[in-house]
Chain A
Amino acid sequence: MRYHEVIVVGGGLAGLRAAIAVNERNVSVAVLSKVHPLRSHTVAAQGGVNAPLGNHPRGHYDNWEKHAYDTIKGSDFLADQDAVIRMTREAAARILEMEHWGCPFSRTPEGKIAQRPFGGAGFPRTCYVADTTGHALLHTVYEQTVRFQQAAERKEMVLYPEWLITNLAVEGEECRGLVAMEMATGRLETFLAEAVIFATGGAGRLYGNSTNALINTGMGMAVPYWAGIPLKDMEFIQFHPTTLYGKNVLITEGARGEGGFLVNNKGERFLANYADSGKAMEVAPRDIISRNMTKEITEGRGFEGGYLHLDLRHLGREKILARLPGIREICLEFAGIDPIDEPIPVQPGQHYTMGGIDCTTECETRIKGFYAAGEAACVSVHGANRLGGNSLLETLVFGQIAGDRAAEYVQTKTQREQGKKALEETLARTEEKIKKTLNSTGKEHPSKIRDAMQDLMVKDVGIFRNGQGLKEASEGLRDLKERCRDIKINYKGRAWNQALVIALELEGSLDVAEAVVAGALAREESRGSHSRTDFSKRDDQNWLRHTLCFFTPEGPRLEYSEVRPGPFKIAERKY
């Protein structure tokens, strides 16, 4: 059994920022992650991170209130206003801190942090590092964790890369620690802690056409869900309009922010033909563009196979090379296309999980000593639709808050190192489950069931949804759970047993997918990313509220909670 005062699960931007906050208060901390922190999904973020710095010539009158309003409007008024205000008020401080830590932001002619326009924002407020912002931010915080580890004046900070968390140990209403598997050896270990922070990222790989890293399976949400913490607003899944056709590698919104055109098979900039995107065109919010693209494709104005063109050619070689070099590289490497000479084939794809582990503005959950931050959490600042550039911001702001609160909690705690027995019991249960999984002698490799789940989610729980399809999805998921009883794993060794990992994570994915479907089926309205063709209007009377989904062995159970209002009036969402 290992002991650290605080354990952070997740080595992405939220997790590492949280770990630094904990350690700054001289509390010992460990970061566990199923991949090396630098391999976390954050590293793939491209476009940028929002803060109302006002560095852009057109951004002079920007401030946190305007940033808050854009965010709340973007969320289709489902975000909690106090949470959004908290985030936008702290945005500038968090971004400047990253600059002070060495993040190589692109610069304005005055040498300040450069900012670009992004969808749904009234001013250019997206700070960027060319088109590799996530890479630069993640490497910068990771560098700082190395600095913290090398500093002798504080208690320790330890990294455990390539450990998969399988279960939480909860006693009464208190979190005692967790059980994790070292992937290189397959060995299970118990981790005792005074507080645990989950920063396990999104669940994009519930879907087949996702832009997310392959590791974003949703398991990180399933673990607390199993332990009794509800998942909030899971039905809100963002689809990004521009992913590379067939591969779903993201083509950043920055490409449209810099002036790229979306074009159908008639050569028209079709966004002009829709009321909700006619004015903002290519920089309208993502949900709107994704829906209009899907309509174009289904109505036969896409290219064969179901895609549209993102045309950058008019930007010219120079601008493409200077501002969008990563995008050009992606096109060359994965599709053999040079956007300087040819339009890019694009299709919408799953991109972001707005919902997540239910927590307060202080990142607390209903289990004492258990906190959540980043994409895995639902505070909620994104409501029914996240604005581009707000999620990297969320990871930094709430990562820090979660770390602060957890450290404070530990410092005031009198009874320490409790719950060893609960941990041992959790370990025994997990060990048994692993043995059983390894010994299964059924028919299928677990990846086949995962693929079926991903297809089902794209088909019935995608950009457009309806009651009939959602009911089918719900039954489909139940069938897939049945099929899980009949898997087969040939390799019985424990070292790097990836079939075992897929099987363990699949169980989590299916439960989280059920939460998405249950929320979507119940929510009989259309709001933000959730588009019901059978209930096409927003319905504030009945649905201006958060979905809370609880795990039960029989299936998800739903409750609802009020959206916290604030200074901004609820209005129609028009651009």
Chain B
Amino acid sequence: MGKITLDIERYDPDKKAQFFQSFQIPWEKRDMTVLEGLFYIQENMDDSLSFRTSCRSAVCGSCAMHINGQHRLACNTLFSVLKTNKVTIRPLAHLPVQKDLCVDMSPFWEKYEKTMPYLMPGSPPPEEERIQSEGQRAEIDVVIDCIQCACCYSSCPVTLTSKDYLGPAALLKIDRFLKDSRDEAKGKRLETADSPFGVWRCHNVYNCQRSCPKKLDPPRSIVNIKRGILGKELRP
């Protein structure tokens, strides 16, 4: 099926060297993914290439990287979708590179942890489940599927310039609990989001929304949080 050229931004921590390297690989089958392309290089051409992966089915969030101008998951990006056989790959932006496509995710996780990312109910648990109506459950449907891949974080221009900005994923996490009928720590959550590094830093660029491989909508969550802070609820 022809060939694909992969230009990969690499980093060698031993030599502290950053460079681009070009690989030509065979396009073996119609549904070949970028991840499969990277494996081809690692196993047949250059075993020093490093990248993260685990589930290879777009649910674990390991394999996010910058592919032809957009942050995406390598495992669910078919070459055919890119509509070109020249592909440029860089590591996730705005996070320190450890080696090649492996970045240090700790700044991202630290922000996740800052949001008190766990249910805070107001009362001790009942004997059975907490009752949540189907309607209440539907409210959180749009905010629970985040896989913490950091595509949104790395696409956001504000995370580049403002080191402490919580970023879209962490703000979505705050909204996930704000929207949960079982959670009773709304005040604390809004306070976290109302900090100098919270929602007001967002510049409404919408890159996060465009890059989310799970089609989530962090800007909507950010608006919802802002309305919460201002004492109003967003109507659907």
CB within 8 Å of B: which residues of A? 35-36, 38-41, 43-44, 96-97, 99-102, 104-113, 129-130, 132, 135-136, 139, 143-144, 146-147, 149-150, 184, 213-215, 246-247, 249-250, 329-330, 333-336, 445, 447-448, 489-491, 493, 495-499
Contacts and interface: CB of A to CB of B under 8 A. Distances in A.
A333 B76 contact: yes
B102 interface: yes
Interface residues of B, number: 61
B42 interface: yes
Given A39-B61, A147-B118, A334-B76, A111 B134 contact: yes
Contact of B137 (A36, A106, A247, A491): A106
A447 B182 CA distance: 48
A493 B31 contact: no
Interface in B158-195: 177, 180, 182-183
Given A135-B145, A499-B42, A101 B47 contact: no
Contacts of A330: 57-58
Contact of A135 (B52, B59, B76, B129): B59
B63 to A, nearest CB: 9
Nearest to A490: B47
Interface in B111-137: 112-113, 116-119, 121, 125, 128-134, 136-137
Given A111-B134, A146-B118, A498-B50, 4 more contacts: A38-B60, A39-B54, A109-B134, A184-B98
A520 to B, nearest CB: 27
A150 B48 CA distance: 38
Given A143-B119, A493-B48, A112 B129 contact: yes
Contacts of B98: 184, 495-496
A109 B14 CA distance: 59
Given A102-B118, A143-B117, A490-B47, A213 B137 contact: no
Contacts of B177: 102
Most buried by B among A35, A105, A109: A35
Contacts of A135: 59, 145, 147
A101 B183 CA distance: 10
Contacts of A39: 52, 54-55, 60-62
Nearest to A108: B134
B31 A336 contact: yes
A147 B185 CA distance: 14
A448 B102 CA distance: 24
A57 to B, nearest CB: 15
Contacts of B102: 184, 496
